[in-house]
Amino acid sequence: MIKKEVDLTPEERAMLQGSSGEAASKAMEIIMALARVYGARKLVPVASAQIAGVSYMNLGDAGLEFLLEWADAGAQVCIPAMLNPAGMDLTAWQSLGIPRSFAHKQRMVVEVYTAMGIQPTCSCTPYLAGHVPEFRQHLAWSESSAVSFANSVLGARTNREGGPSALASAMVGRTAEYGLHLDDCRLAHHKIDVRCSISSLSDYGALGYLVGQRVSNGIPYFCFRDAPWTGTTWGVGELPPEPLISGLKLLGAAMAASGAVALYHVDGLTPEARMGDMLASDAKIMRIDDLSKGYSALNSPVNNIDLVSIGCPHASLDEIRWVGELLDGKQITSDLWVTTSRNTREEAESQGLVECIEAAGGQVVADTCLVVSPVKMLGYHSLATNSAKMAFYAPSHVGLQVRFGSLEQCIQEATTGKWE
Ligand code: F3S
């Protein structure tokens, strides 16, 4: 088969040839390489970029060097661009026990990105911090749960970009038009018939874990027999109300972790499923009768828990409020981190929610995520969480034994120090 060359506009051709500087020309080369690999016929303008590869724990000195080279070449973004979580809370790192040497390198990473014009949002939920993409808007986002949420819940269009390709898109405002940017590639080929009820946030995660494992990088179309959101409505281009927004972010995050699901539809609920038939005629059917296999696969036999983690993906304001309500009048014995964006933390602080959690002994931690922070250096060995994504990654990425359960179970554990 003869591959057609990528059709560039005069402006794109000029950028490739260096009209916008050396860094933009290098960025165009990265995007063109992806376009050729995936058979894209043209590039599309993107409204924003969300860039992974921020934690110094993952980047190391080689990654920092790579960023400094881009900065030396004059890298500057030309569209709104945001960062994924860093390896620490950028202001309260000392109170978390982060070593000074790590903090120094982490701050350098964020400073290099900021000098390029990127907003140091350091969050995997930019849509909860004012960056809500429009329906059908093209994006270049890289964090898997954010990609899933943008595609599925908001009906925007993004492939899962790597850190360098999202950075390249931020610099030239384009991405290659392939995959989820195209109508035909957004049809679901797996119908998921959910027969059991979904009664807690962790149930969304357990369901996502089971489905992600089975469909891998496919697109599932959920049909819920007992839909917990019956009667809930919201406009296209808007965020759904709670607790749905938290449930859907946990569902998508889990499927992106146990599989590589970047888009899902929910019958009668998500925007594209509301507007048209998104289920392929030859879709395979999978039935889910109960979630117990998901819960048992994500639990290890550990009873003494060092750390309770809530906020994967980063907690919404309501999730922080629910934690505060569960802790009211109690003192915790395990450590508790509620991870969130700096923006949401500030909002929670202004409403007295941070004070309430701190009074019980917990911490509301901004800018970071346990999976990309040096938690082993902090002496933690076991973790309890209500996030299936966190439960899936913590054993392999940071070597912690994990308990996975509802928010109520996690907070109960934090107060007693024992997983019941
Ligand atoms: Fe976000 Fe980290 Fe979870 S990036 S989705 S808090 S693993």
Same domain, 350 and 208: no
Same domain, 155 and 220: no
Residue 2 lies in a domain: no
User: Last residue of some domain: 294, 311, 332?
Assistant: 294
Quote the tokens at residue 301: 């036999």
By the 8 A CB rule, do 262 and 151 touch?
A: yes
Q: What is the pLDDT of residues 18-42, one digit of tens each?
A: 999 999 999 999 999 999 999 999 9
202 and 287 co-located in one domain: yes
pLDDT, tens digit, 9 for 90 and up, residues 108-167: 999 999 999 999 999 999 999 999 999 999 999 999 999 999 999 999 999 999 999 999
Q: Report yes or no: 81 and 172 within 8 Å, Cβ to Cβ.
A: no
Residues 29 and 168 in one domain: yes
Same domain, 133 and 193: no
Band (pLDDT 50/70/90 cuts) for residue 229 is confident
Most informative mutation of 307, 312, 372 for ligand 1 (most atoms within 8 A of CB):
312
Based on the domain organization, do 354 and 400 belong to the same domain?
Answer: yes
**Ligand 1 in reach of 375 Cβ (< 6 A):** no
Q: Is 145 in the pocket of ligand 1 (CB under 6 A)?
A: yes
Distance 21 CA to ligand 1 centre (A): 34
Q: What is the pLDDT of residues 343-367, one digit of tens each?
A: 999 999 999 999 999 999 999 999 9
CA–CA gap between residue 4 and residue 126 (Å, rounded) = 36
Domain boundary among 294, 310, 338: 294
Q: What is the mean pLDDT of residues 253-275?
A: 96
What percentage of the chain exceeds 90 in pLDDT? 93
Residue 124 Cβ inside 6 Å of ligand 1? The answer reads yes
Average pLDDT over residues 225-235: 86
| Residue 3's pLDDT band (cuts 50, 70, 90) | low
**Three-state SS sequence of the chain:** CCCCCCECCHHHHHHHCCCCCHHHHHHHHHHHHHHHHCCCCEEEECCCEEECCCCHHHHHHHHHHHHHHHHHCCCCCCCCEEECCECCCCCCHHHHCCCHHHHHHHHHHHHHHHHCCCECCCCCCHHHCCCCCCCCCECEECCHHHHHHHHHCCCCECCCCCHHHHHHHHHHCEEECCHHHCHHHHCEEEEEEECCCCCCHHHHHHHHHHHHHHHCCCCEEEEECCCCCCCCCCCCCCCCCCCHHHHHHHHHHHHHHHCCCCCCEECCCCHHHHHCCCEEEEEEEEEECCCHHHHHHCCCCCCECCEEEECCCCCCHHHHHHHHHHHCCCCCCCEEEEEECHHHHHHHHHCCHHHHHHHCCCEEEECECHHHCCHHHHCCCEEEECCHHHHHHHHHHHCCEEEECCHHHHHHHHHHCECC
> For position 417, what pLDDT does the model report?
86
- Distance from the CA of 315 to the center of ligand 1, in angstroms? 10
For residue 4, tell me if it sits in a domain: no
Pocket test for ligand 1, best of 337, 383, 389, 400 (most atoms within 8 A of CB): 389
User: What local confidence, expressed as pLDDT, does residue 232 receive?
Assistant: 84
Does 204 lie in the same domain as 144? no
CATH number at residue 38: 3.30.499.10
Answer yes or no: do 197 and 286 share one domain: yes
Q: Based on the fold, state whether residues 16 and 140 are members of the same structural domain.
A: yes
Centre of ligand 1 from the C-alpha of residue 305, in Å: 20
Domain presence at residue 211: yes
Same domain, 272 and 355: no
Residue 334 has pLDDT above 70, yes or no: yes
> How sure is the predictor about 234, in pLDDT bands with cuts at 50, 70 and 90?
confident
Residue 203 lies in a domain: yes
Asked whether residue 204 is domain-assigned, the answer is: yes
User: Is residue 168 scored above 70 in pLDDT?
Assistant: yes
For residue 358 the two structure tokens come to: 């701190």
Domain count, the chain: 3
Query: Is 70 exceeded by the pLDDT of residue 2?
Result: no
Residue 402 predicted with pLDDT over 60: yes
Same domain, 410 and 340: yes
258 located within any domain? yes
Domain interval for residue 384:
298-416
5 occurs within a structural domain: no
Confidence band of 406 (pLDDT split at 50, 70, 90): very high
For residue 1, is pLDDT > 80?
Answer: no
Residue 3 in domain? no
pLDDT 10s digits, 36-51: 999 999 999 999 999 9
pLDDT tens-place string over residues 297-320: 999 999 999 999 999 999 999 999
What mean pLDDT value characterizes the chain? 96
Say yes or no: 151 and 226 in one domain.
no
